[in-house]
Chains A and B, each alone.
Chain A
Amino acid sequence: MTITAPRRVVAVALAAAVLTLSACATTGPATEADAEPFVFLSDLEPVCFDTGGYKNLANYNVARQILEPLVRQSVDGEYSPALAASWETSEDGLVWTLHLRDDVVFHDGTTLDAGDVQASADRFFVEGNTLSSPSWLTEGNYRVVDDTTWEFTLEDPRANILQQLSTPDFPVLSSESIEEFSDGDRCADPTTIVSAGPFVPTTYVKGESLALVRNEDYNTGAREGTAKVAEVEIRFVPEAQARIGALQSGQADAASAVPPLNADDLESGGFTLVDGAATGVPFVATLNTAGGPTADLAVRDALFRAADIDGIVDSIYAGRYDRAWTVIAPTTPPLGSYDDSIEGSWTYDQAAAADLLAGAGYTEKNADGILVNAAGEPLVLRWIFDSGDIRDQRDVLAEAIQADVRKAGIDIQIEKLDTSAYLARIEEGSFEIAAESWGQSDAYVVLTVAGPIVNYPKYQDAEVDGWLFEAWATLGDDEHRAELYRNIQERLNEQRVVLPLYVQNFIVASSPDYTGIAFDPVGYPTWFTDVERVAD
């Protein structure tokens, strides 16, 4: 599973070195605009560039330029060919056969065949390797059928297999390069990752930048032909105000992760703002249903009504992020999964919250104004945070909710923990609230908040488990899958398992000279194939 965690990192690239390496890019005289790289300021630098070893959405910014997926998933959740021209599955959905294109050239000049895919898969099962294989790929269950045909066998049918094949989590690399470079090389230096994506990495300076040149042999894109821009420079600038200043002063052409509060300013300054709504589980507060005060449905329901989520989200994110209503974001594939009937189904109502809490036994307030039950225990909810994962002012959001529900006599105590302490607390259940988001371009990701696999809120419901597994095994009937996911959302809402907070929008600001920044289905600005200069 890919987890959105913020790993702040670094890098920068030198244009001079790029020129020497782009010798193959000599189609006609270069125009003035071609000579200038498209400079993109990224907030995050991947800690490790090998998406086969380090799965983190922050890597996608870079990985999507270099790697080419087997199958392409568009923003609306449709699938189209990429390295695989076509695919078919056995009746039981277990055996998948991919027919590869025979005209794909890797960045090192070798041609793609089934042996490359096989070698890319073998990488995960070499003795002593430290990668983590995609969950669909198991040792010995894949093979080369012929030069352009590759086959793998699943242990159980999976409805989301095409989505899985579309992510960078399974990098298809040239088999020569797998021999030449080690997994450690690929992790530390993206220029040793040899794939068939739209751009070729040329120079990487850790802590500064990565330079890319157009892959002139690229022919597997969503449209015909190569990338429009000849050179791209991704600079890793962690500080938001430094990114915005550099963009405004013309030192860069686009900046990622623009804080919502700066958005209006940039827009009125003539910059283009493009945003991609995140898919998957939006930022939600999962409530511990197995222990503590939140084990009581009435307490959870009271919490839903005691905070003015609309007002808080609107003021913190300057109206740029939408309030979330359910456990999946509205644009999450498959189409129709999002249950819009939940929108507006409860309102901010502290009086109603007070009634619910009275019903749950919290009738008196102590000297601090906190409700206590008959045993004299105050209504304390521990909200735990992974301090390494606080971004987007999520702690401010939590504090605003804390202040609001305090008026209703609920005492939220925010604890910021390091990652391992946080995960340990989740596992042992010593929390009442844990807020998370999980980016994923398929609704199966609700397994993070329900079912037997991840399930942060520890919510037990055999029917929900059944729906999850049924959806998992439903092949070729997205309508039915969507219906099952709507059932799950409805149940989780009735049971107040997860308090949805906001849907992230990944905001990119770009100079008016450029158009064409595209988002991948997860909502990260990761495709520069269509970026083009529209002004001198």
Chain B
Amino acid sequence: MTTHALPAAADLEVRRAPAARHRFVAVGRTLVRRLVDIAVVLFASATLVFVMLQLMPGEPEDVLLRGIFEITPAVRAEVIQDYGLDRPVLLQYGQYLLGILQGDLGASYQIRKPVTEIIAANIGNTAALAGAGLALAIAMATLIALVSAGRGALASLVTQAVELLAISVPSFWIGLLLLTAFSFAIPIFPSSGADGPLALVLPAVTLAIPLTGVLSQILRERMDEALDLPFVTTVRTRGAGEFRVRVRHVLRHAVLPALTFSGAVLGSLLIGTAVIETLFARPGLGRVLLNAVIAGDIPLIMGVIVFGAVLFVVINSLVDVLATAVDPRLRIEAGVS
């Protein structure tokens, strides 16, 4: 909200162009910054994973082959060759980084497939689950926040209690309840697999419930704050109805933190849905990671960690760029005024 005097119509015509240019420059600068971030995260995560491998007790080839009961000399030779383990550590590090830059995240010696292939085969199902869960959570949280914000102490207390419950009940338990109700007792949805949209419903709802709790907290608190701001009074004096005030004016104030949070959550969901995928027997990246941990498939764990770190920062960067485009204040922070 500005306090400038209203400019003449002719001035507005002139100033529109620089504003658009500013926006473009701001978005461009944010984009460049984020690309640097991505490069840094890629480098840092790869380095961390490499150091982790060196620090684990035992020879690196034994660590990489952990979980395989009978390690034949041929498998050992293959691993030594793949990671250049017969060469000095610095060269190994260089080879590893170079491989990652070329999109080579290594191979699982248990499943006998490249890690990228395993990720590619599973990311779709997980993305569908995470996307559907997040979309559902955003819709429900927005609704709850719109209805409950600024309704007095009692309403606030009840909403908070519901939100806390949604956040604190374990997903596993929510999923089991949903399964029991809507698959076992009333057979509407299949209990396992990822075959078709029907199979997505229960896992997505399970995922959405705790997310809704957190998102709705963020939205509601911001809306509570915004409802007390002077501009709301101004809007009301112009004769705007309650619905218009909330949806058109107050909600906008709350969207940005919610957007940032959603970005962070989506990034972590893409490899963090193991519990739900296991319960609903869905293929997916979370389950791949969980099984890799159980089976001691170190190359797969390493690959998924690097992939997950990069994915996380990529998604958050996209959200940032989006936010810069949406919010004028961030353009100022980006160095363009």
Contacts and interface: CB of A to CB of B under 8 A. Distances in A.
B66 A419 contact: yes
Contact of B278 (A48, A209, A238, A250): A238
B287 interface: yes
Interface in B95-115: 109-113
B192 A48 contact: no
B190 interface: yes
B147 interface: no
Contacts of A242: 176, 179, 191-192, 279-281
Contacts of A132: 70, 72
A37 to B, nearest CB: 13
Contacts of A246: 183-184, 191-192
A419 B192 contact: no
B283 A251 contact: no
User: A-B pairs with the 3 shortest C-beta distances?
Assistant: A207-B283, A245-B184, A184-B112
B134 to A, nearest CB: 21
Interface stretch (A5-13, A104-112, A427-435): A5-13
Contacts of B195: 12, 14, 208
Contacts, number: 138
B294 interface: yes
B283 A241 contact: no
A130 B72 contact: yes
B108 to A, nearest CB: 9
A421 B57 CA distance: 9
Contact of A207 (B63, B69, B122): B122
Interface in A106-138: 128-132
B74 A12 contact: no
Interface of B: 57-58, 62-63, 66-70, 72, 74-75, 77-78, 109-113, 121-122, 125, 176, 179-180, 183-185, 187, 190-195, 277-284, 287-288, 290-291, 294-297
B175 to A, nearest CB: 9
Contacts of A12: 192-195, 281, 283
A207 B287 contact: yes
A9 B296 contact: no
A10 to B, nearest CB: 6
Contact of B281 (A7, A10, A131, A420): A10
B193 A7 contact: no
Given A9-B291, A188-B112, A420-B296, 5 more contacts: A7-B295, A8-B295, A10-B291, A130-B112, A241-B176
Interface string A96-107: 000000000000
A128 B74 contact: yes
Nearest to A251: B191
Interface of A: 3, 5, 7-10, 12, 14, 41, 47-48, 53-56, 128-132, 183-184, 187-188, 205-209, 235-239, 241-242, 245-246, 248-251, 388, 418-421
Q: Which of B58, B69, B282 has the most CB of A within 10 A?
A: B69
11 contacts: A8-B278, A8-B291, A56-B69, A188-B111, A206-B121, A207-B125, A208-B194, A208-B283, A242-B281, A249-B185, A249-B191
A61 to B, nearest CB: 15
A184 B58 CA distance: 27
Contacts of A7: 291, 294-295
B296 A129 contact: no
Nearest to B122: A207
A419 B67 contact: yes
Contacts of B110: 47-48, 54
A7 to B, nearest CB: 5
B282 A208 contact: yes
A114 B56 CA distance: 47
B174 to A, nearest CB: 13
A107 B115 CA distance: 30
A354 B62 CA distance: 44
A418 B296 contact: yes
A249 B183 contact: yes
A458 B67 CA distance: 23
Nearest to A5: B69
A498 to B, nearest CB: 21
B184 A238 contact: no
A208 B111 contact: no
A209 B67 CA distance: 24
A239 B296 contact: no
Contact of A237 (B66, B192, B290): B192
Contacts of B294: 7-8, 388
A487 B110 CA distance: 40
Given A12-B281, A48-B110, A206-B121, A245 B193 contact: no
Contact of A235 (B62, B113, B192, B296): B192
Contacts of A55: 69-70
Nearest to A387: B294
A390 to B, nearest CB: 10
Nearest to A9: B291
B70 A420 contact: no
B53 to A, nearest CB: 14
